[in-house]
Structure 1
Amino acid sequence: MSVPVTVLAHFRAKPEHLADVQTALAELIAATRQEAGCLSYVLHVAQDDPTAFVMIERWASPEALKAHFAQPHTQAALARIPPWLAEDVRISRWTEVELTRPEPV
C-alpha cells in the first residue's frame, strides 16, 4: 500500500517577473488540482516578502507524484518559470508521521 507524500517547493521570483510567475503558477495550479492522486496543491507567499513562495502539495502516493512531473502542464511550467526566478527551486519530499501519546503513569 502506498503512503501519501507531502512536497514542499520553495522558490523566489525576481521582482520584475513576479506577475509572470504568478500567472504561470495560477495555470499550473488549476491543471494540477484536476490530476488523479492530487490531494492538495496550495501556494503560500511569505508575509514579509511578496517574491518568496512555497507550494505545499499532498499526493496520494509516490506514483501519483511521479505522474504529476510527467504531465504536459507540469513540464511546460518547469521549462517556462526558471528564468523568472532569483534562485533555484528547492524541493523536499515528506512522509507524515503519526505519533501516539504515551499513556499516563
Structure 2
Amino acid sequence: MAVTVLLEFKLKAEALAEARELMGRELQTTRAFDGNLATDVIVDEDDPTHWIIYERWESVEHDEAYRSFRAGEGRIAALPALLAVPPVKTRYLDTDI
C-alpha cells in the first residue's frame, strides 16, 4: 500500500540559495530511488524558509529503505548547517475512507 511522507524544513534565511541548489541535486536521487512514486517541494508563500517535501512511496518498506540510505551512504552532509531547526518527518498511510 502506498504511503505519503511529509518532511517539514525550516531553513536559515541566508541559506536559501544554497538549499535550493543542494536539494535540486539531491532530490534527483530521491526521485530515482526504488519505490518513489513522486517527490515535490512546496514552499510557504508567506515564508520562503518554510519548505515541505512531499513524497509518495510504493510501500512503508520502500520508504524505510530510502531512510536507511539517507542515514548512511546517501547522507546529505551539508543539509544540517542550512537548517534553522531539525526537520520533522510525518508518514501517512493510505486508507479506504
Report if TM-score (shorter chain) is over 0.5.
yes
Distance between the aligned counterparts of 1:23 and 1:69, measured in 2? 21
How do 1:6-25 and structure 2 match up within 5 A?
Answer: 6-25=4-23
How do 1:24-39 and structure 2 match up within 5 A?
Answer: 24-39=22-37
Q: Once superposed, what is the RMSD of the aligned Cα atoms?
A: 1.2
Amino acid at match of 2:85: E
Distance between the aligned counterparts of 1:26 and 1:68, measured in 2? 17
Q: Quick check: 1:90 aligned with 2:92?
A: no
Displacement of 1:68: 1.1
In the superposition, the TM-score normalised over structure 1's length comes to 0.83
In the superposition, the TM-score normalised over structure 2's length comes to 0.89
Displacement of 1:20: 1.2
After superposition, what is the alpha-carbon deviation per residue over 1:36-73, rounded to whole angstroms, capped at 9, x for unaligned?
10011111100111111000101001111122123333
Distance between the aligned counterparts of 1:57 and 1:17, measured in 2? 23
Moved beyond 3 Å, runs of 4+: none
Unmatched segments (≥5 aa) in structure 2: none
Unmatched segments (≥5 aa) in structure 1: 100-105
Tell me, what secondary structure is at the counterpart of 1:80? coil
Amino acid at match of 2:54: I
Aligned residue pairs: how many? 94
How do 1:30-69 and structure 2 match up within 5 A?
Answer: 30-69=28-67
